[in-house]
Structure 1
Amino acid sequence: MRKAPIIIGSDHAGFPLKQELVAHLQDRNIPVLDIGTHSLDSCDYPVYAQDLCKEVLDQNTLGILVCGSGVGMSMAANKVAGIRAALCTNEYLARMTRRHNNANVLCLGGRVTGIDVAKAIVDAFLDNDFEGGRHQRRIDLMEPTI
């Protein structure tokens, strides 16, 4: 059982899928911290991406971000030092980004990813760990130098 919760957030376009994923995580007995949004009212995705990334780093855990396409959230999240956010459209990408890239934030598109596919992607992301080894060297090379 996880000690730190999975942090989850969305904008208005990702809100319906986020709600499904929160229920899915709770069904798996995984603690969840939902940082919002909590409605379909229009909002700005970078705010939620930044809030989620701060929690992920503070709690040393994983996060899930959902917007319409997943692209905006991934771009916003990857602006935060220490975050490795990956937009995943299938289980293979989710599995490999954890194993090889040590991604700590999964991004999904609520308008382009079906609920069952999204649940499978989340499961693959959470059920895999970083392999380290040669992959750590590559992660180190991604750190900003300027």
Structure 2
Amino acid sequence: MTGKKALRVSADEVRPNRRRGGDIRVTLSPATAGSTSGFGGVLYLDRAEHVTEHYHPYSEEFIHVVAGELEMTLDGDETVKLGPGDSLLVPIGVRHRLVNVGDVQAYCAFHLSPLAPRPELGHVDTEEPLIPGGPNPHVGGAP
């Protein structure tokens, strides 16, 4: 045992990041929980809503769909349909864009690992964010 205690963070306690679409809440990260190997949280997407295309140059992204019907486009041409209970691994460096194609709000859990050397290096936009120049919280929602 390391003597460290487990830390619980509720999605309701985290400021939503809507810059790239949807309601993304990073719950466990270096900023929120002192994690050292990755970060994760939850994503809510309303009907027809999407997360703009991007990639992670240092991290794999793990996505697990809890509710809703989604389509993930990978590298601009491969589309993967996802539903409740489905999980998807997005490899390091693969461009991806997620769209809610269902009739209800979609809900996913996600995790990225390993961490980029600095938070601002972990995410590369390949499509203009929905809120240009808007707040872009670092991992964990830090200003």
TM-score, normalised to structure 1's length?
Answer: 0.29
**Which has the higher relative contact order, 1 or 2, with Cα contacts under 8 A spaced 6 or more apart?**
2
Higher strand share: 2
